Amino acid sequence: MPVLKSAANPSGSFSATKTGRQIPARADLHALASEAARAAGITGYASLPPWSLAAPSCVLPADVGTNCTALARHFPELGLCFFETGACLGYTEADLPADLRTLPVRWHMHLPLDLPWTGGADAVAKAILALAEKVAGLAPWAYVLHPPEAPDDLRGGGAEQLRCVALALKERGISPEALLVENIRGRDLETMWPVVRELGLGVCLDLGHMLERGQEDFLTLPGLWVHARMLHLNAPDEARPGRHAALDRLDAAGQAVLGRMLSSFAPGGSVVLELFSPRELFDSLRFVQTFWADLNGNNADGRKEDTA
């Protein structure tokens, strides 16, 4: 997967074989992940009851297969980061080796950041279905979707485009519940909310996006916690806006929002530590495990869920 400079990866710091970059031996990369875990004080298998804990497939400077094989030693779920439509449609078995099926993990897919929204809902659905076919053997349980970036420029508006895409995918076997709409910028999730509720779509809440873009009021959207099936956890980086920073960079206000999210999130959902370097990933794992344990200790009455 060629380097992509994006909101999730503004420095273009992770890449794969097609870039021509020299990639260290697989064993060395496995050791790199294990060393980062030990440095963070993480021993054994990562967990965060009562949820499935996940890592992205672009933490190590290597291809998807190497990342997944290394990270499967530590995490029970992996997110396939298919951030570029064209490059990921060109993936072969060299990028997605058959032995990924043998890894003892649950899978989900993060859909491309550059889906062809201007080409219409059919073009978007076609791209998603082609990518889903490439990993059909892994049976991803969810597909994270960034809403259209410029919804006012799209025919029928962004909400109508989302509706048409979701219905087209439903016809081809991807249920609305498996399509998770992520909060990205502005008021996007609020704008799409009527369609989310109408079709029963899922939601992926990104903590870093929420804090950076003043979206904390999204936590009060009616029925939010019925639809929320995934959390992306990361902290904003004030020095480099748009970059995902480790969770120990959260200030008091950010920690308060994290506490609200975890306290309302239903058991069985997926918590993704969306960090793109081994050190930040495992430092964030240590932080969230300690944070959740402390929060539980201070809230003996348990979680309060929105069932509206």
The DSSP-derived string for 239-273 is SSTT-EE-GGG--HHHHHHHHHHHHHSPTT-EEEE
pLDDT value at 39 more than 80: no
pLDDT digit string, tens, across residues 148-172 = 865 555 555 789 999 999 999 999 9
pLDDT tens digits, one per residue of 205-233: 999 999 999 999 999 999 999 999 999 99
Sole residue written with tokens 């495992």: 282
Per-residue pLDDT at 16 exceeds 60: no
For 74-107, write each residue's pLDDT tens digit: 999 999 999 999 999 999 999 999 999 999 999 9
pLDDT of amino acid 205: 98
CA distance 108 to 168: 20
Residue 308 to residue 295: CA distance in whole angstroms: 25
Which CATH number, 3.30.450.40, 3.40.50.720, 1.25.40.80, 3.20.20.150, labels domain 23-298? 3.20.20.150
- pLDDT surpassing 80 at residue 19: no
User: What is the full DSSP assignment across 108-175?
Assistant: EEE--TT--GGG-HHHHHHHHHHHHHHTGGG--S-EEEPPPSSGGGSTTHHHHHHHHHHHHHHHTT--
Tokens of 133: 């076919």
Residue 45: pLDDT above 90? no
Residue 203 C-alpha from the chain's centroid = 11
Q: From the centroid of its chain, how far is CA 191?
A: 21
pLDDT tier, 236 (very low <50, low <70, confident <90, very high otherwise) = very high
pLDDT in tens, 241-287: 667 999 999 999 999 999 999 999 999 999 999 999 999 999 999 99
Query: Are the C-beta atoms of 218 and 190 separated by less than 8 Å?
Result: yes
Please report the pLDDT score of residue 11 as a whole number: 35
